[in-house]
Amino acid sequence: MDKLTEIRWHGRGGQGAVTSAELTALAAIKEGKFAQAFPSFGPERRGAPVLAFNRISESEHIRVRSAVTQPDIVVVLDPGLLYIVDVTSGLKDGGALIINSSKKLVDIKLEFGGPWQLAVVNATTIALELLKVPIVNTTMLGALLKVSDAIKLDFLLEPIEERFGKLAQRNIEACKRAYEETSVAEPSPTSKKVERAYAKESWPSWQELAPGFVVTEPGNARSYRTGDWRAQCPEWNHDRCIKCGICSLFCPEDCIRPNERGYPEADLYYCKGCGICARECWTQAITMGEEVKE
């Protein structure tokens, strides 16, 4: 049987994971290979964790259509996802984990190293510098090129041009620069994946559903964490805050409340990091800082 490379992309709604997967497939097809790209269809929204998948075969039509559960390569577009989604779930021994992070390779390795190749690139910085937006889809393709020969840069150029038009050149630059700046650590076959607890959803059985699927517990969505969607986190400068409450009124999540001292505070369990509060604050007391997990 032909060699089949399976890739799983982890991103957030609006970040470009699906685009990455699509471009990957197009590049592979251009090269003459057989490839698939597809997202995990769902109602998830901008900021919510999303998945996209690739399968690339050297010379055969690929018939499998189900989600990739045992990837050869995992690409993580948002460093925050590492702590909320089990990105290495099913990752094959000897496979590759590619992460967008500002952290150093050695530091990442402590946390996410395993019997797989580990690649780290500070894609957000590259994207912000070259594209002026924190969308890292093409940048991460550069990192993918560095780790895997499933696709080649030459065949990627055309799809990028088609997709981005005027902005293509800058995207290609981002891709190339990421290729240069990606640092890679070889797999350490003996090392084990660091186990961590990820939130797991448990689903009711059919008998447990009320007739008509009525939800009888009002507002139980409160237990649903949307704070995971956040890429940036609001911070209040108390010297600048007059506790006026405007931030709280404009919060679409309704998650800003005064603390004991009367200063507003976002409930990070829900805050999606949209930045409205910072934008609307009269005294510019709020800034959106980089999200730091754990």
Partner 1 sequence: MITISIDGQELKAKEGQTILEIARENGIYIPTLCYHENLSPYGACRLCCVEIFKGGRSRIVASCLYPVEEGLEVKTNSPHIINNRKMIMELLLARCSQNEVIKKLASEMGVEQSAFKAKYLENEDCILCGLCVRACEQIVERSAISLVNRGVNREVAPPFLEPSADCIGCGSCAYVCPTGAIKMEDKDGTRVVYARNWEKEFKLKKCKKCGNYWAPEEQLEYIREKLNLPPDFFDVCPNCRESVP
Partner 2 sequence: METLGIYVPRLVTKRQGFTPGHRACSGCGEALAVKLVMKALGRNVIVVMSTGCMEVISTQLPYTAWEVPWIHTLFENSAIVASGIEAGMKALNRKGTPLPKAKVVAIGGDGATFDIGLGAISGAFERGHDFLYVCLDNEAYMNTGIQRSSATPFGASTTTQPAGKVSMGQSTWKKNMPAIAIAHDIPYVATACPSYPFDLMNKVKKAAEIEGPTYVHILSVCPTGWRIPTDMTIRLGRLAVETGVFPLYEVENGKYTLNYDPPRLRPVEDYLKPQGRFRHLTPKMVKKIQQRVSVEYASLKEKAASG
Partner 3 sequence: MKRVGFESSFAIAEAVKMANIDVTSAYPITPQTHIVERIAQLIADGELDANYIPVESEHSAMSGCLGASAVGARTFTATAGQGLELMHEVLYVASSMRLPIVMSVCNRALSSPLSIWGDHSDVMAVRDTGWIQIFAENAQQAFDLTLCAFRIAEDPAVLLPTMVHIDGFHLSHVIESVLLPEVDEVNKFLPKFHPLYALNPSKPLTMGDFATPDLYTEAKKGQDEALRNSMKVILQAWREFGGLFERDYFPVETYRTEDADVLLLTMGSFSEVAMGAIDRLREAGEKVGLVKLRLWRPFPFDEFCQAVAQAKLLIVLDRAISFGGPGPVCSEAKAALYHLEKKPQIIGFIGGLGGRDISVEGFQDMIHRGMDKAEQGKFEEFEIFGVRG
Where do contacts with partner 3 occur on this chain (CB under 8 A)? 42-43, 201, 203-207, 209-216, 218
By CB under 8 A, tell whether 225 contacts partner 2: yes
The β-bridge relationship of strands 34-39 and 183-185 is unpaired
Residue that has been written with the tokens 């939130």 in this structure: 199
**What single-letter DSSP state applies at residue 253?**
T
Residue 212 interacting partner from partner 3, partner 1, partner 2, none (CB closer than 5 to 8 Å by kind): partner 3
The binder of 205, among partner 1, partner 2, partner 3, none, by C-beta within 5 to 8 A per type, is partner 3
The radius of gyration of the chain from alpha carbons, rounded to an integer in Å, stands at 21
DSSP state of 193: P
Report 12-51 residues binding partner 2 (CB under 8 A).
13-14, 43-48
**Minimum CB separation from partner 2 for residue 211, in Å?**
14
* Distance in angstroms (rounded) separating the CA atoms of residues 255 and 260: 15
The least distance separating partner 1 from the CB of residue 271, rounded to whole angstroms, comes to 17
Phi, psi (deg, nearest 5) at residue 273: 70, 35
When the beta carbons of 21 and 277 are compared against partner 1, the nearer one is: 277
Choose the stretch contacting partner 1; rule: CB under 8 A; options: 26-34, 96-104, 224-232, 276-284: 276-284
Q: CA angle 87-92-95, nearest 5°?
A: 85
When binding is defined by CB under 8 A, the residue of 107, 267, 280, 290 that contacts partner 1 is: 280
Q: How near is the Cβ of 123 to partner 1 at its closest, in Å?
A: 24
Cβ nearer to partner 3, comparing 209 with 244: 209
290, interface contact from partner 2, partner 1, partner 3, none, CB < 5-8 Å by kind: none
CB of 73 to partner 2, least distance (A): 28
Dig out the tokens for 99 from the structure.
């992460």
274 makes contact, choosing from partner 2, partner 3, partner 1, none, with CB < 5 to 8 Å by partner type, with partner 2
CA distance 20 to 151: 12
Binders of partner 1 among residues 206 to 265 (CB under 8 A) are 239-240, 242, 245
- Region label for 289, one of left (φ > 0), alpha (ψ between -120 and 50) or beta (otherwise): beta
Among partner 1, partner 3, partner 2, none, what does residue 249 contact (CB within 5–8 Å per kind)? partner 2
Q: Give CA–CA dist 231/279, Å, rounded.
A: 16
Tokens found for residue 101: 């992070």
- Decide if 178 contacts 126 (C-beta within 8 A): yes
Alpha-carbon distances, residue 62 vs 4, 41, 149 (angstroms): 9, 20, 18
- Residue count at the site for partner 1 (CB under 8 A)? 13
Q: Does 282 contact partner 1 by CB under 8 A?
A: yes
E strand or H helix at 28, and its extent? helix 17-30
Rounded Cα gap, residues 150 and 4, in angstroms: 9
Q: Which residues bind partner 2 (CB under 8 A)?
A: 13-14, 43-48, 203-204, 209, 213, 215, 217-226, 229-230, 242-246, 248-255, 257-258, 267, 269-270, 272-276, 278-280, 282, 288
Q: Which residues bind partner 1 (CB under 8 A)?
A: 239-240, 242, 245, 278-284, 287-288
